[in-house]
Structure formats: C-alpha cells, structure tokens
Amino acid sequence: MQSDEGVAEHDPKGALELLKHESNVRSQSYNRVFGQWALQDPLEAAAALEQLPSPSHRNAAILALSTIWTEDDPLATLQWSDDATWLIGSEKRTLMRQIWMLFLAIG
C-alpha cells in the first residue's frame, strides 16, 4: 500500500477506505488521515469519524480533527462537539479537553 500519509494528503476519504482493508493498522495512521481531512473538509471528516469501529482509532481521529479544526474555527468545533451525541464517556471528555486546551492556547 502507498503510504497513508501520501494518500491522505490528496484523498483522505480514499486513504480511510484503504485503512479499512488493512490489518494491524496503528492509530497514528488514522491521526494522519483525519488531520489531512480536517484541513480539507472538517464536517465530512467528522461524519466519517463517527463510523470508526475501534475506540483507539476513533480517539486518534478525534484528536487530529479537533486540533486542526479548533485552530481554524474553534466555535464550529465546539458546536460540533455539542451536537455529536454519539460521543460518550472518555471520547467526549477527550474531545472537550482537547478543544478547551486549544481554545485557551489560541485565545
């Protein structure tokens, strides 16, 4: 497989599809894909994130998406986190902590 970094840069949706068919995928790969996707279309990335079955991969994607999106549009990221009712427990806490830390840093 071409590196996930190279595919993600030009086609994050395609990179995610490639990752779905790989075994032993590391969370870092999801971080790269969703980081690139957040640069291009954060709402689409957020919708795709919801479909990730693995909690560790989902957390990596949440961190990447929230980091990029908060730097660009912190209020939109906060609104998305409020609307993301599928996020519960540690995922919701991880997201909120990340958003607030970034929000205060760019303050």
How is residue 23 annotated by DSSP? S
| pLDDT the model gives residue 32 | 93
Cβ proximity of 30 and 61 under 8 Å: yes
Instruction: Identify which has the larger pLDDT, 48 or 104.
Output: 48
At CA 86, angle to CA 83 and CA 92, rounded to 5? Answer: 80
H helical segments located in the chain: 4-10, 12-20, 27-40, 42-49, 55-72, 74-83, 89-106
Residue 107, pLDDT > 70, answer no
Task: Judge if pTM exceeds 0.85.
Answer: no
Residue 3, pLDDT > 70, answer no
> Which amino acid does the sequence have at 29?
S
pLDDT, tens only, 44-90? 999 999 889 888 898 899 989 989 998 888 888 888 888 888 887 88
Residue 30: band (very low, low, confident or very high) from pLDDT cuts 50, 70, 90: very high
